[in-house]
Amino acid sequence: MSKVFKTDKGKIVFEADMIIVSDDAKTKRNVFLFLSIIWIVCGSLNILRYFDDGEEYLLWTSLVTVPLSFYILLLMILRSTKSKIPLNEIKSLKTGKVFSDEYLDIKLKSKRTRRVSRLKNREEVDTYIKTNSVL
C-alpha cells in the first residue's frame, strides 16, 4: 500500500517500509553550494581590497555577505538529498510553510534534514502522517 503526493517538480511516495522522493534537490543544493562559495571568495577579496583602496562600501557589504554565505553553506552541507529513505532512518516528519512555500521536513537519525519543497497539499500530507502513524 503506497500513497503518492505531488510537488511542483516531483512527487513523494509513502510505502510500507520507505519514503521515496523524486525532485530537483541535488541540483538546488549544488547551485547553492557553488554560489555561496563564490560569494565567500568574492567577499573575502573585497575585504582585502578595502585595505588597499580604503573604500568603506567594500568592507561593509562584504562583512554582510561573507557571514551570510557561510551560514547558507553550512545549511546546505547539513541538508540531505537522498531519494530513498528507509523508515528506520527517520527521526521525525514535520510539515511547514514559509511565505508561499509549503514543505515537508524529514529529520534523519544522522542529524541531517531532507526537505521536500513546494508541496501541493500540505494539509493532506500532514493528515496522512498523523492518521497512518508513518513512524
Whether residues 73 and 34 share a domain: the answer is yes
Structural domain span for residue 47: 30-77
Whether residues 73 and 91 share a domain: the answer is no
User: At residue 78, what is the residue type?
Assistant: L
Whether residues 15 and 41 share a domain: the answer is no
pLDDT in tens, 111-130: 999 999 999 989 999 999 98
Q: Is residue 24 part of a domain?
A: no
Task: Look up residue 59 and give its DSSP letter.
Answer: H
pLDDT in tens, 87-116: 999 999 999 999 999 999 999 999 999 999
pLDDT in tens, 50-65: 999 888 998 999 999 9
Which residues make Cβ contacts (< 8 Å) with residue 13, sequence separation at least 6?
2, 3, 4, 5, 19, 20, 21, 22
Q: Is residue 96 part of a domain?
A: yes
Q: Is residue 43 part of a domain?
A: yes
